Structure 1
Amino acid sequence: MQQSGPDKKPLFFYGFIIVLVGTLGVWASVPGQTLGVSTFTDPVKDALGLSRDKFSVAYALGTIGSSFLLGLAGKWFDRYGARKVAFFAALGLALALALSSQSQAISMSIQRFTGSSTWVIPFVVIMLCFFLIRFSGQGVLTMASRNMIMLWFDKFRGSVNAFSSIAVSLGFSISPLFIDHLIEGNGWQKAWQLMAWGLLVVAGLIYIFYRDTPEKMGLKPDGSLIKKNNRGKTDAERIQFSKKEALKTRAFWMYGLMMAFNGYFITGLTFHIVSVFENVGLTKTDAISIFVPMSIISVSTSFIFNTLSDFIKLKKLLFLMILGGVIASVGLAFLSAPIGYYLLVFGAGLSGGLFAVLVSVTWPRFYGRKNLGAISGVSMQMIVFASALGPWLFSASFTLFGSYSVIALLGIVGLVLMAVFSLKANNPQ
């Protein structure tokens, strides 16, 4: 909070609370993220009687369906604010998890009612569950929480995002192990139910502590911090792009596509992580444990470059992220060799750390705060849509070629093309 009056110094800037609760909101989206869903893949597909390919397609279709609505969710953010949007997103995710925990029972009930034992019934049921999980979790709750933090800061976006990204990365890194422990100790149905109860608690915290913008509390972005640093343009001096104007710039598409590639690659890898490692003779424990060193690199990268992003051009970070994607793809293609493991871990960690930087600071810096929800909503659509294709394309690569190397090599080709077209992806300001 801040005292009013020209001669009174602020006692406390509420933006620091925003960083804490906003980070909690992003972390709470874990059940809707691929790393939160992937741990359920084997037990749920077996319980529903679906093959890996069918289960992957159901996940892809549910995710693609959710991506089509994220542009609308961005408009909700601009119209209704972070507090309402994030609150209902958390409630929606809790409901989605509760329904998912009953997907087997729902499928069996429909099969008995229709007198049919076709696989189509559990396929449609889990697809609809994935639609709800992905839309409310990975999509809306993540977007609203992340954007809220960015609206409360301007000059120090990178610095506060460094803290938030580290906390989120650490939380995400331990989540697969935590969720696997829940499943092993309680079964996949109870595990989803326990997380649903946790989301209800988070929804309550969102309602109490989230605030839409500093202006609505009589404050300014950065609070008193801005007095310590007066470099560069402020948000008030930036051109406030509309969504239509932003989509006409090359920068939007190049940055957006690279973020989408990261979502595609990490989702495909995470969703099939056990299969990917077993295919080269490694165990499930080896597969799950990859997230720890990957996250260490990601956290370190995020901290360093979030802080530096307040001072340097984001274009340099874009090319570094592309390089990380190339290294990770090479590692996946040659995972059977010892060097492949280290390349995969380092490349994915580097790319993921830079994703945490660019996905937050790029849009308000390039296009202003006025239409942040609508513009970032389109980017989130691209990320979620690409993440939907990841599991399906990885599965298709394994089914057709008996290996994940083919899809990795195709990714390298795409990244090289992206690097070429990004040469002129300049800040539209």
Structure 2
Amino acid sequence: MHRGPRHAGGGQAVNGRAAGAAAVWALGATQIIGYGTLYYAFSILAASIAQDLNWSLEWVYGAFSAALLAGGLLAPISGGWIDRFGAGRVMVLGSVTAALALAGIALAPDRAFFVLGLVAIEAVSTLVLYDSAFAALAQIAGQDAKRRIGQLTLIGGFASTLFWPLTAWLLDSLTWREIYLLFAGLHLLLCAPLHMMLIARRRGPAQERGERAVPAGREVQGSLPEAARRRAFLLLLAGFSAGGFVLSAVLVHMVPVLGGLGLGAGAVLVGSLFGPAQVLGRLVNMAFGRDLPSTRLAVLSAGLLPAAIALLLLTAPWLPAALLFAVILGLGSGLVSIVRGTVPLELFGSRGYGAMLGKITAVRLVVTAGAPFAFALLLERAGSAAALWGMAAIGLIGMLALLALARLAAAPAVTAAGAAGAEPESAAR
């Protein structure tokens, strides 16, 4: 009499794992295309854009920074749509509108239309990049979402590795406008159908009636009780924003800063290790961090940033230590991408998860948008060493905020209340 239910439950578990694995591969492809076309390709095409529009390179990058900020401000709206309509539907819409935005910028007749197109690209990017993909995995994989998010960031880490050389190769035979038209076709013909698959993967009896975005039985309950959630959310914002500020500032200026510390030609070699180290960090997490609480991983990822900067400052211009700096910084950055998705899910649960990620992204992007400019001022007025010590201090503050969050999450009263099934509805209120 008991075999039927056990068999059915086992079949559901197998189907759930298969759905999660398929979603990871589908989203991995769309994240590589999304980040590659909407973000990384711009640095390769910027010089051609500036020449074609008879505009200085500084103004082109300034328009890009403004567009990134505008996209961040719209992130809470896309997060709310994800919770209401499901990530699959929102990502299909995002793929179609990304194709239109890319085509629009390719056909822009002047600077004004170019800026409008750039803002449109970064606005719709919030519908298709990591935050939306993390929410899709939470809706599809449920309790297995934490592991699936780690797998996804590992695949997505190859976006720059693939699209920087691909874009440069295309630029040898195509104009920047033709390249953006080609990228528009990728979103329409590849990403949109892959995102359509997510709707079918997510669909269940509850979704047929439109009752909720997360299927019954797959909803993740957050570990924090209501009383602790406001404080936890503020600590989360502080930690993530500080880390984002440091990475945004240092990465934009990495090569000139390393040169200013006396590394000379070795600066390019040091910078080239950052990307592979990000992927290495995600691989290490997949291999050894499966049972590590996300809050502890967040503390580790945040602590690696000031540690790397301090190592560089204390040993420059010694090249081997500078290479280790790039590896440690890359490891931290790679882990940051994972905890951005897993910590909110672990602490606050999957209900309202999309809206929460939208709020976190909005604050983080607003804070980090000015980081390259602020760091440039510090470099000019105080020099490379003082500017980097300032970044190390900000990174340390972020680590301390996440350490306080980890302690709050591990408190016996919090754990007991979370196990009792505290309602996750108003995590960020």
Note whether the superposition's TM-score is higher than 0.5: yes
Selected match of 1:169 from 157, 166, 171 = 157
- Are 1:374 and 2:355 matched, yes or no? yes
Aligned twin of 1:362 = 343
Change (3 A) 1:262 1:421: closer
CA shift digits 1:354-384 (9 cap, x unpaired): 1132012111111011111111111121233
Residue ranges of structure 1 left out of the alignment (5+ in a row): 108-121, 227-233
Residue ranges of structure 2 left out of the alignment (5+ in a row): 208-212, 419-429
**CA distance, structure 1, for counterparts of residue 56 and residue 318 of structure 2:** 29
8 Å contact from structure 1 (residues 37, 271) kept in 2: no
**CA distance, structure 2, for counterparts of residue 239 and residue 213 of structure 1:** 26
Amino acid at match of 2:328: G
8 Å contact from structure 1 (residues 22, 149) kept in 2: no
Change (3 A) 1:236 1:392: closer
- Are 1:156 and 2:156 matched, yes or no? no
- TM-score (norm: length of structure 1): 0.77
Aligned twin of 2:26 = 21
8 Å contact from structure 2 (residues 243, 302) kept in 1: no
Change (3 A) 1:262 1:418: closer
**CA distance, structure 2, for counterparts of residue 159 and residue 357 of structure 1:** 10
Report how far residue 78 of structure 1 moved: 0.6
Aligned twin of 2:300 = 320
**CA distance, structure 2, for counterparts of residue 255 and residue 33 of structure 1:** 27
**Matched positions, count:** 392
**CA distance, structure 1, for counterparts of residue 301 and residue 253 of structure 2:** 23
- Are 1:299 and 2:279 matched, yes or no? yes
- Are 1:43 and 2:23 matched, yes or no? no
Aligned twin of 2:199 = 211
Change (3 A) 1:321 1:332: same
SS at match of 1:312: coil
Report how far residue 152 of structure 1 moved: 2.4
8 Å contact from structure 2 (residues 68, 369) kept in 1: yes
Report how far residue 51 of structure 1 moved: 3.5
Change (3 A) 1:349 1:361: same
Aligned twin of 1:230 = none
Change (3 A) 1:335 1:174: farther
SS at match of 1:58: helix
Amino acid at match of 1:372: Y
8 Å contact from structure 2 (residues 99, 188) kept in 1: yes
**CA distance, structure 2, for counterparts of residue 277 and residue 133 of structure 1:** 32
- Are 1:345 and 2:333 matched, yes or no? no
- Are 1:92 and 2:73 matched, yes or no? no
CA shift digits 1:120-169 (9 cap, x unpaired): xx3x5443333222222256433222211133234433432332222111
Aligned twin of 2:388 = 408
Change (3 A) 1:95 1:342: same
- Are 1:389 and 2:374 matched, yes or no? no
Amino acid at match of 1:412: A
CA shift digits 1:340-366 (9 cap, x unpaired): 641442132111221132012111111
Report how far residue 307 of structure 1 moved: 5.3
Report how far residue 209 of structure 1 moved: 0.9
**CA distance, structure 2, for counterparts of residue 246 and residue 377 of structure 1:** 20
The 5 Å alignment of 1:27-176 reads: 27-31=32-36, 34-103=39-108, 106-107=109-110, 122=111, 124-137=112-125, 140-176=128-164
Report how far residue 296 of structure 1 moved: 2.9
RMSD: 3.7
Aligned twin of 2:179 = 191
SS at match of 1:185: coil
8 Å contact from structure 2 (residues 303, 396) kept in 1: no
Amino acid at match of 1:248: R
Question: Identity across aligned pairs (percent)?
Answer: 14
- Are 1:200 and 2:188 matched, yes or no? yes
8 Å contact from structure 2 (residues 142, 220) kept in 1: no
Aligned twin of 2:422 = none
- Are 1:260 and 2:248 matched, yes or no? no
Instruction: Report which stretch shifted further, 210-219 or 57-66.
Output: 210-219
**CA distance, structure 1, for counterparts of residue 338 and residue 351 of structure 2:** 20
Change (3 A) 1:375 1:52: same
**CA distance, structure 2, for counterparts of residue 403 and residue 102 of structure 1:** 42
**CA distance, structure 2, for counterparts of residue 318 and residue 36 of structure 1:** 29
**CA distance, structure 2, for counterparts of residue 164 and residue 47 of structure 1:** 37
Instruction: Report which stretch shifted further, 195-204 or 386-395.
Output: 386-395
8 Å contact from structure 2 (residues 239, 397) kept in 1: no
